[in-house]
Amino acid sequence: MSYCVNPSCSQPKNPDQAVVCQACGSTLLLRERYQILGILGKGGFGATFATQDLSLPGKPLCVVKQLRPSTDDPNVFRMAKELFEREAETLGKVGNHPQVPRLLDYFESQQQFYLVQEYVKGHNLHQEVKKRGPFSEAGVQQFLSELLPIINYIHQQKVIHRDIKPANLIRRQTDRKLVLIDFGAVKNQVNSVIASKTSAQTAFTAFAVGTQGFAPPEQMAMRPVYASDIYALGITCIYLLTARSPKDLEVDQNTGELLWENWVQVSPAFAKVLKTMLEVSVRHRYKSAEEVLQALDLSAYSDSLAQSMITMPLPSDKQSDEPFSSNLQSQFSTAFSTKTTGKTSPLRGVNVSPSYQAQPPNGGMAFQNIQQSHNPKNKVRATEITLIKKKGKLDSRAIVEGYERGQRDFAQEELNALNLQRARLPGINFYQSKLTGSNLQDADLSHADLGRANLSQAILKNTNLSQAYLSYADLDRADLRGADLTGAHLKYANLKGANLCGANLCDAQVTPEQLALAKTNWLTVMPTGKRGFW
Given this model, what pLDDT does residue 393 score?
67
Which has the minimum average pLDDT: 69-78, 220-229, 264-273? 69-78
Q: How long is the chain?
A: 534
In terms of Cα–Cα distance, which of 400, 413, 407, 389 is closest to 440?
400
Alpha carbons 272 and 304: distance in angstroms, whole number: 16
Q: Is 498 left (phi over 0), alpha (psi -120 to 50) or beta?
A: beta
Alpha carbons 204 and 231: distance in angstroms, whole number: 23
Domain boundaries, the chain: 2-118, 122-301, 329-357+381-388, 390-534
Alpha carbons 506 and 405: distance in angstroms, whole number: 33
Evaluate the CA torsion angle 511, 512, 517, 523 in order and state its sign.
positive
Which CATH architecture best describes the domain 390-534?
3 Solenoid (2.160)
Q: What SS3 class is residue 524?
A: coil
What is the helix (H) or strand (E) element at residue 36, kind and residue range?
A: strand 34-43
Given this model, what pLDDT does residue 88 score?
84
In terms of Cα–Cα distance, which of 223, 167, 217 is closest to 41?
167
Distant-in-sequence, close-in-space partners of 308: CB < 8 Å, separation ≥ 6:
none
- β-pair partners for 531: 525
Average pLDDT over the chain, rounded to whole? 79
Catalytic: 163? Answer: yes
Given this model, what pLDDT does residue 503 score?
94
DSSP characters over 440-458: -TT-B-TT-B-TT-B-TT-
- β-pair partners for 459: 439, 479
Task: Report residue 189 CA to chain centroid gap.
Answer: 29
Say whether pLDDT at 125 is over 60.
yes
Q: Tens digit of pLDDT for each residue in 372-406?
A: 333 433 433 333 333 333 345 688 999 998 898 88
Please list, residue by residue across 273-305, b when 16 or more beta carbons sit within 10 angstroms of its beta carbon and e when fewer do. bbebbbbbebeebbebbebbbebbeebbeebee
Residue type for position 361? P
* Rounded mean pLDDT, 297-316: 52
**Do strands 103-109 and 112-118 pair parallel, antiparallel, or not at all (unpaired)?**
antiparallel
- β-pair partners for 13: 3
| CATH code assigned to 2-118 | 3.30.200.20
Residue type for position 366? A
> Which one is the CATH code of 122-301: 3.40.190.10, 3.40.1410.10, 1.10.510.10, 2.40.50.140?
1.10.510.10
Alpha helices in 324-473 (DSSP H): 396-404
Given this model, what pLDDT does residue 533 score?
59
Q: What is the CA radius of gyration of the chain?
A: 27
Q: Tens digit of pLDDT for each residue in 447-493?
A: 999 999 999 999 999 999 999 999 999 999 999 999 999 999 999 99
**Which range is most confident: 72-86, 212-226, 361-375?**
212-226
Q: Which residue has the higher pLDDT, 412 or 354?
A: 412
Alpha carbons 66 and 107: distance in angstroms, whole number: 10
Alpha carbons 68 and 2: distance in angstroms, whole number: 20
Going by pLDDT thresholds of 50, 70 and 90, the confidence category of residue 287 is very high
Q: What is the pTM of this model?
A: 0.56
Alpha helices in 221-288 (DSSP H): 226-242, 268-277
Catalytic residue among 16, 53, 72, 163: 163
Q: How many CB atoms lie within 10 A of CB 108?
A: 12
What is the helix (H) or strand (E) element at residue 82, kind and residue range?
A: helix 74-94
Alpha carbons 439 and 223: distance in angstroms, whole number: 55
**Do strands 178-180 and 13-14 pair parallel, antiparallel, or not at all (unpaired)?**
unpaired
Given this model, what pLDDT does residue 153 score?
93
Contact status, residue 498 vs residue 460, Cβ threshold 8 Å = no
Is the fold of 2-118 the same as that of 122-301? no
Q: How many CB atoms lie within 10 A of CB 227?
A: 25
